[in-house]
Amino acid sequence: MRRRHSRWIAAAALGLISSSFSTIISQLFAARIGRDAAVDWMTVAAIPARDWAISSEPSWSAILAGIAFHQWADFSWALVFFGALGRWTADLRPLTILLLALPWAVFSSAMEWFVLVPLFPFWQPLFTLQQPYWIGLLVHGSSAVMYPLFAWLRWMPGDAPARDVRFTNAWVTGAVAAIAVLGTIALLGSIGYELPWMGRDKDADQAYLRHMTTHHTQGIELAQSGAERARDPHLRKLAMLMVASQSGENRIFETWWLSWFDTDMPDCSTDERAAMPGFLTPNEMRQVKTAPADQFDALFVAAMSKHHRGAVRMADQMWHSRGDLRLRIMAHAIRHEQQGEIALMQGVSGVAAVITAFRNMLGDNVN
């Protein structure tokens, strides 16, 4: 008679595997779609750790805390799926598990994005307002694809049916191959060799890269003032997050430009800067930087909101363009992120934050 593990033990083993796999995939894949993984992990760490996790340059402690929290969450979802719901899931065949695991990824990521993080129990609006839902869906999806391994993990060593062993060997081989491919692409990207540009309007993509890089550079300068001078501690931390996220995005822009076009990125002219939506004049920047301490926070929020609205308009135009898909995906995330930061500067939280984030994911709601 074949011997089985407790479904809870098998679920725990599966949770360790699936959460580790999704962490590796997320780390390797992030920059390919314009995400700075370190900033994303820092944002995840801010769910339980709040402002402690946020800094202008993600710290190793915040990155590791974010990874640990992500793995705990993924681990917990596996326990729910195969432990708490094991009466219905523990005896399923691998492909049936896969068919159920993918909608489970939709459900679990939606629960986190819409309910568990911004409402109960964490009441942290930053994550939902700063990251569009599809990022969490991709992460949960990469975890869910490992769920079919449960069909092998539920058996004691040597007692698994031959078909489950064969499936597991093939599935693990595929997972290792995926890591190897993404790892190779990530390694090449780290030394300046990204996949070639694949857009349909080179001039438009180059203009967007140049303009958004310049726009972000001013945004970083403005945010650094907020990180140094804001009286409100939450506003100060939010300004630090702006520095971190826009610095990371600029690094990706510069990497893509060098890899795709094999030349240095030209600076924007004075006329180009003046024509950019939301780009502040030297006088506007000076007013914020020299503002009296008791007026700084209000002036900073007003100036940064104007600046963000301009970036949202630029990103929205790229999202609806014929540009390289990676640029368009990144633009969608920037549109969501900067609208969310406007809401955070206004103190939006709770149900209002969820509604705002959902609307921001669908379009430009600030222009």
CB-CB contact of 307 with 220 (8 Å)? no
Tens digits of per-residue pLDDT, 239-273? Answer: 999 999 999 999 999 999 999 999 999 999 999 99
| CATH number (domain holding residue 348) | 1.20.1260.10
197 falls within a domain: no
My answer on whether 227 and 134 are in the same domain is: no
Q: Which neighbouring-strand residues pair with 155?
A: 4
- Per the structure, how many domains does the chain have? 2
Q: How far apart are CA 337 and CA 114, in angstroms?
A: 16
Residues with Cβ within 8 Å of 164's Cβ and at least 6 positions away in sequence, in order, are 94, 151, 152, 155
My answer on whether 209 and 346 are in the same domain is: yes
My answer on whether 186 and 131 are in the same domain is: yes
My answer on whether 183 and 214 are in the same domain is: no
Tens digits of per-residue pLDDT, 210-225? Answer: 999 999 999 999 999 9
Tens digits of per-residue pLDDT, 119-129? Answer: 999 999 999 99
Asked if the bond preceding 161 is cis, omega within 30° of 0, the reply is no
Domain boundary among 166, 190, 214: 190
Tens digits of per-residue pLDDT, 154-192? Answer: 999 888 899 999 999 999 999 999 999 999 999 999 998
The residue among 203, 211, 204 whose CA lies nearest residue 279 is 211
My answer on whether 215 and 144 are in the same domain is: no
Domain boundary among 190, 223, 244: 190
Q: How far apart are CA 80 and CA 157, in angstroms?
A: 24
- Per the structure, the complete domain to which residue 50 belongs is given by 7-190
156 falls within a domain: yes
My answer on whether 231 and 154 are in the same domain is: no
Say what the pTM is. Answer: 0.96
My answer on whether 312 and 345 are in the same domain is: yes
Look at residue 1 in the predicted model and tell me its pLDDT.
64
Domain boundary among 190, 217, 250: 190
My answer on whether 272 and 209 are in the same domain is: yes
Residue 142 in tokens: 């990469």
Tens digits of per-residue pLDDT, 296-351? Answer: 999 999 999 999 999 999 999 999 999 999 999 999 999 999 999 999 999 999 99
Q: How far apart are CA 135 and CA 35, in angstroms?
A: 9
Let me know if 17 is exposed, middle or buried by CB neighbors in 10 A (0-12, 13-18, 19+).
buried
